[in-house]
Structure 1
Amino acid sequence: MDISANFRMLALYNQRMNRQLLEVCQQLTNEQLQQNTNAFFPSVMAHWNHILFGDLIMLQRLVASRLVDIEPSTLEQLPNAKAVDDQFVSDLKGLSILRPLVDSIYVDITRSLKTSDCNNLVRYTTTEGKKIERNLTEFLQHIFNNQTHHRGQLTCVLSQLGLDFGCTDLPIIVPEGTRS
């Protein structure tokens, strides 16, 4: 499998897992979504907002690098990720609109990705002010790894709330694997 096919698979995996977990969260009351989880993030919604923040800020950095083309009308629908503590959505209704949009953008980006693109450099400044330069492979790997890591934290919380979030295995979630 070449690296561009790997990223297409990971984008589909993230899209499908986010949808799956969002459906599970529909079983929770607003109070349960906001209650203290005693986890890394203080609530289920805080977990979702952090995952969304990571995706939005990395997407902004990717767009700024001019390595991807995204329709301006699509970008206008996204909030600006400017601070680590941003709360983009306060409930599942808002998340149900924004999360699928962000996921579809990443799927679209990876569909047009060629292996030869993966050595292009992304230069950006972190939220702490540090200048970073990474090739697109490292940059995309971080995006998908970050989502998976924080969804793991979220599934732990959902499990403690007694919810069954189903299978999380990549070959089951994305059975078509690397096929385009």
Structure 2
Amino acid sequence: MMKQSFELMARYNQMMNRQLYYCAAQLSDEQLKRDRQAFFGSILGTLNHILVGDTLWLQRFAAHPSGFSSLDKVKALAAPKQLDEIIHDNFAALSEARNAMDAAIVEFSTQLTEQDLSQPLSYVNSKGLSQQKHFGLLVQHFFNHQTHHRGQLSTLLSQCGQDIGVSDLLVHIPEL
């Protein structure tokens, strides 16, 4: 059941990011970069943070014994050095990187198995500490992290007059 849930979350994530990036594209460079007193400062800073988090987590997930081929391109990316790193200062480049990351996430979700998700994953966190945690719960955290920061972005974009539209996951849960 976790696999099915993560496939849904991956598609939802991709769709929500498209909506956010569409709205953000309506703003000027100055509006995207203005410090709005958010945790990561600006809209561009928050968009970059989500990409940083996705990169770090997917690189950790790539070390899973199942060796997910969907993460090969993510493994090849430079690992961000800090959580507030601006990977792309240019919105067009950031948008392109986001699209590629979301495609990798969707493909990754299709490669997961319930057996994969039930195993532990060993990794080193951003403070350099070795960790070993339940892989399925780490994937759940991965999607929750994105949702958390997209909520912040919906507020920031709303303050700029942009409506991201319906964001409820419920709309994407299929009828039985």
Partners of 1:57 and 1:88 lie apart in 2 by 12
Q: Residue 94 of structure 1: CA displacement?
A: 0.7
> What is the match of residue 51 of structure 1?
50
Identical-pair percentage = 35
1:140-165 superposed Cα distances (whole Å, 9 cap, x missing partner): 00100000001101111111111111
> What is the match of residue 151 of structure 1?
150
Q: Residue 28 of structure 1: CA displacement?
A: 0.3
> What is the match of residue 36 of structure 1?
35
More off after superposition, 7-16 vs 80-89: 80-89
1:77-111 superposed Cα distances (whole Å, 9 cap, x missing partner): 63422322321111220112100111111111111
Partners of 2:175 and 2:80 lie apart in 1 by 31
One-letter code of the match for 2:5? N
Secondary structure at 2:104's aligned position in 1? helix
Contact 1:78 1:98 in 2 (8 A): no
Distance 1:77 1:130, change over 3 A: closer
Partners of 1:133 and 1:54 lie apart in 2 by 18
Secondary structure at 1:81's aligned position in 2? coil
Partners of 1:65 and 1:116 lie apart in 2 by 12
One-letter code of the match for 1:140? V
Distance 1:177 1:139, change over 3 A: farther
Secondary structure at 2:165's aligned position in 1? coil
Q: Residue 55 of structure 1: CA displacement?
A: 0.2
Between the two structures, name the one with larger relative contact order (CA 8 Å, sep ≥ 6). Answer: 1
Secondary structure at 1:64's aligned position in 2? coil
1:8-53 superposed Cα distances (whole Å, 9 cap, x missing partner): 0011111110111000101100000000111222100000011001
> What is the match of residue 122 of structure 2?
123
> What is the match of residue 19 of structure 1?
18
Contact 1:121 1:133 in 2 (8 A): yes
Contact 2:123 2:132 in 1 (8 A): yes
Partners of 2:141 and 2:119 lie apart in 1 by 15
Distance 1:146 1:73, change over 3 A: closer
Q: Residue 71 of structure 1: CA displacement?
A: 5.6
Alignment of 1:50-129 (within 5 A): 50-70=49-69, 74-75=73-74, 78-129=77-128
Contact 1:9 1:177 in 2 (8 A): no
Partners of 1:101 and 1:177 lie apart in 2 by 29
